[in-house]
Each structure stands twice: as C-alpha cells, then as structure tokens.
Amino acid sequence: MSTMISGLTRGGQEWTPEFVVALKQENCIGCGRCYKVCPRQVLDLVEREVEEDEDEDDEFSDDTAMVMSIANAMDCIGCKACSKVCPKSCYSHAPAALTA
C-alpha cells in the first residue's frame, strides 16, 4: 500500500500537495508566466514546430513556436503556482505517493 505525500500548514492543517503531471503544449502560448513563478525550476522553454496547415495563410509566420515543457518533474513541490498564472489552463496536477 502506498502512502500519499502530505504535510502540515503553519496552522497545523494537513495538506496534500498536487504535483504537475502534464502540460498541454498545444494550448501553450509561451508567455513564460509559469516559468517565472516556479520556485524549483521545474519548467523550461523549448521550440515546438508549428503544423504546416496551422499557419499556411500567414505570410509572416515562423516555422517554430516557443512553448513550455516539464524539464524537472521530480523537483515539483506541488504548489500549483504554474496553474494559477497560466492564461490557457495548460497544466494538470495530481497527488503523488511516496517513492523509495
């Protein structure tokens, strides 16, 4: 049986952190808000190639777009700051079990 990671608030209330488990890069606009608020350097800005039919009418479009990626998931502390500032609701979080 696995034990979920939990802690206590300063007031003594039990708290179960929810860790980042997924990021919808197709929704990400690369604004960097989540990167700036993450206290543990969990995220990284990377290039994503744009689909050919996605911007074929735009004569000024680039072939790449910058989006966030989860670079260090094991460093996440479960604060959900990334979700709170994301304007496109790109993040999914879940509680996690203790690992040996």
The helix (H) or strand (E) run that includes residue 82 is: helix 81-85
Give tens-digit pLDDT for 42-93: 999 999 866 665 555 555 555 678 999 999 999 999 999 999 999 999 999 9
- Taking the domains of the chain in order of start, what are their residue ranges? 23-93
User: Can you give the pLDDT at residue 20?
Assistant: 98
The domain 23-93 is classified under which CATH number: 3.40.718.10, 3.40.1190.20, 3.30.70.3270, 3.60.15.10? 3.30.70.3270
pTM to 2 decimal places: 0.80
Q: What are phi and psi of 56, to 5 degrees?
A: -70, -20
Give tens-digit pLDDT for 3-45: 999 999 999 999 999 999 999 999 999 999 999 999 999 999 9
Angle at 93 between CA 89 and CA 95, to 5 degrees: 165
In terms of DSSP bridges, do strands 91-94 and 64-70 run parallel, antiparallel, or are they unpaired? unpaired
Torsion of CA 66, 71, 76, 81, to 10 degrees: 0
